[in-house]
Structure 1
């Protein structure tokens, strides 16, 4: 068979180009430390690698969201811990203010201390994250959620919750709004009793307890009005209202609507007391504290028995309202702690998933250096052999035999 010179050169060039291409491919694999440089190298492997890379990327995004949520919830928990301590201190001061040995000056000193506590609580309610974003403002996080007013702090934020995608199928609130913390009460919070400012008698109420939660009137609001020094009516919040009558004796509990309230002293005709559920009794921490400060600043040493009764009733109301606020804050703190615990569990799961994905991706695309280097030398030797063969065959000519 005859082989033309041109055909010989073309075949030799093609062989050397093929060997050089194979050598270059191995060199690129070693340089990139990957065995799949383009999808054409391994279409199925490239598809699997892309899927694993996307999973790793999503895991990293979830981890970033979890870190953000952990930081925000940590700041909230620190603020609420300080609020808890201050509320517990306030309750202790209320007990001290109710002591019979206290004078107007003593109560005024307590009021001054409580005003300082009020300012601290307002500062904690307006806590930010260090970047100008307020923790308890809901979606309006760019401005302080509470503004001080004459009757207490006004909430100017909203009740939105910023949800963070912390895992594939889990969204989590990274905080809580101020109204639900500082101006709300739990559904199971006790009743709050208040006396009318117009009362002229010296009736003093004690605690309100539940005697029959199955009573059809339980959960409604009530008003106790004295029609004389020894008779009263109880009106519920029905429409039209239901009215019952009773006979009063100091120290004898008054029962109605599944509740029982102790009342002592001598209420005057026309005196009234409201017994409302916690949520209908203005469950505002700042308002309750302002009312308490105002009551403690009112002199009663030389006042009438009615004024002294008003002070004791104000202390009792403040104690119940702030106790309800404390319970609410502790409930929110419990929720924050649960979320932080869940984030820890999700971090552990995410780390395990990330490690598994990276291991899977490594098995797909990472280069086996021993095999790659061996192949590199093989390709080099093959190219050299092809080149030398070309040189030797090129020298063959019939002229050498003449």
Structure 2
């Protein structure tokens, strides 16, 4: 078979071009540190690598969300801890204010201390995250949620929205809690609140309301104890129209009054027309700021010259405030526990996310990472083959019949 010179050159050029292309591909793989330079190199591997890369990027976004949620929840937990401390201090002040040896001046001093605690609690409720976003304002995080009014009361100006964060594939978590659910709410199991009706003229003082029968048909309702005479009382539901629970009964100071599954002791000498309300915590007023304000007002009201009715009104007001503050304190502790649970869950999700990312990176490495030993061996092999092709071409192109004439 005759091989023309042109055919020889074409075949040699094609062979060397193929060797150069193979050598270049190995060089590119070593430079890029991957065996897949284009999807055509390994279509299935490239598809899987793309999916795993997307999973890694998504896990990174979840990790960022978890970090942000951890930061805001940690700030909330710190502020709730401060609120808990303030409320505990207020409870101590209320107990101290009930000391019968205190004078009006002493109680005025306690009222001033209580006012400082009131202002401190408002400051905690208006805490921000350092970037101008208020923690307890709900969706209205651009402005303080608890605003003092001209009359000294505090109005909640936020809403009850919760800013949710996507912290994992199927988990959204609230990064904060709204102020109303913290400072103006109580738990469902909060204790009953007793309070003296305005206008009482007797010296009746109520004690702690205790539960004796949760199965009573009227348990969970609100009640009114009314003294028709100084020695008789009746108990009705606080509804329209009222329903009689306990008919007219003889009153004995200090003896328990039972109604609707509850029991309450009243001491002193109530007057005809005096009444006491016993209501569920959610119906008795759940605003902790209003409760503190009422306590301050009671402490600043002189009673040294008001006789037994004045002292009874003070003790009843302090008892009511103490019960409400206790309910508010329990509510803050419950919210704080919820925050702690979320922080714990974030830690667990972070560990799971780190493990998932580590697995994905390992799988991605198996899919596309280059075996350097094999690549370098192939590089030298291709380089040697190319050099051999080039040298062979040089030698063969010098062969000519004229050299043998």
Q: Above 0.5 in TM-score?
A: yes
Following TM superposition, by how much is the alpha carbon of 1:304 offset from its aligned partner in structure 2, in angstroms?
Answer: 2.8
* 1:227 and 2:255 correspond: no
- Listed as ranges, the matches of 1:331-350 within 5 Å are 331-350=334-353
Alpha-carbon deviations, 1:178-234, whole Å to 9, x = none?
A: 101110011000100111121111111111000110001000011112111112221
Give the equivalent residue in structure 2 for 1:308: 311
Q: Does the 8 A contact of 1:199 with 1:272 survive in 2?
A: yes
Greater shift after overlay, 209-218 or 297-306? Answer: 297-306
Distance 1:313 1:238 in 2: 23
Following TM superposition, by how much is the alpha carbon of 1:254 offset from its aligned partner in structure 2, in angstroms?
Answer: 1.1
Following TM superposition, by how much is the alpha carbon of 1:18 offset from its aligned partner in structure 2, in angstroms?
Answer: 1.0
Which residue among 372, 375, 379 is the counterpart of 2:375?
Answer: 372
Name the SS for the 1:207 alignment partner: coil
Give the equivalent residue in structure 2 for 1:124: 124
TM-score, normalised on structure 2?
Answer: 0.97
Q: Does the 8 A contact of 1:226 with 1:270 survive in 2?
A: yes
Give the equivalent residue in structure 2 for 1:18: 18
Which residue among 260, 269, 272 is the counterpart of 1:269?
Answer: 272
Which 4+ stretches in 1 moved above 3 angstroms? 237-240
Q: How many residues in Structure 1 have an aligned counterpart in Structure 2? A: 402
Distance 2:33 2:310 in 1: 87
- Listed as ranges, the matches of 1:205-244 within 5 Å are 205-238=206-239, 240-243=241-244, 244=246
Following TM superposition, by how much is the alpha carbon of 1:237 offset from its aligned partner in structure 2, in angstroms?
Answer: 3.7
Q: Unmatched 5+ residue regions in structure 1?
A: none
Which residue among 225, 243, 248 is the counterpart of 2:251?
Answer: 248
Following TM superposition, by how much is the alpha carbon of 1:247 offset from its aligned partner in structure 2, in angstroms?
Answer: 2.1
Name the SS for the 2:127 alignment partner: coil
Give the equivalent residue in structure 1 for 2:302: 299
* 1:395 and 2:398 correspond: yes
Give the equivalent residue in structure 2 for 1:135: 135
* 1:362 and 2:365 correspond: yes
Q: What value does the CA root-mean-square deviation take over the aligned residues?
A: 1.2
Alpha-carbon deviations, 1:241-299, whole Å to 9, x = none?
A: 31132221211111111111111111111111111100011111100001011111111
| CA spacing shift, 1:238–1:115, aligned 2, 3 Å | closer
Q: Does the 8 A contact of 1:139 with 1:157 survive in 2?
A: yes
* 1:286 and 2:300 correspond: no
Distance 1:385 1:260 in 2: 106
Name the SS for the 2:56 alignment partner: helix
Alpha-carbon deviations, 1:59-105, whole Å to 9, x = none?
A: 11111111111111100110000111111111111111000111111
Name the SS for the 2:76 alignment partner: helix
Distance 1:72 1:233 in 2: 52
- Listed as ranges, the matches of 1:148-227 within 5 Å are 148-149=148-149, 150=151, 152-227=153-228
* 1:97 and 2:86 correspond: no
Name the SS for the 1:227 alignment partner: strand
Name the SS for the 1:2 alignment partner: coil
Which residue among 316, 320, 323 is the counterpart of 2:323?
Answer: 320
Following TM superposition, by how much is the alpha carbon of 1:151 offset from its aligned partner in structure 2, in angstroms?
Answer: 5.5
Name the SS for the 2:131 alignment partner: coil
Q: Does the 8 A contact of 1:151 with 1:287 survive in 2?
A: no
Q: Unmatched 5+ residue regions in structure 2?
A: none
Name the SS for the 1:313 alignment partner: helix
Alpha-carbon deviations, 1:126-156, whole Å to 9, x = none?
A: 1100011111111111111111133532111
Greater shift after overlay, 288-297 or 143-152? Answer: 143-152
Give the equivalent residue in structure 2 for 1:382: 385
Greater shift after overlay, 164-173 or 129-138? Answer: 164-173
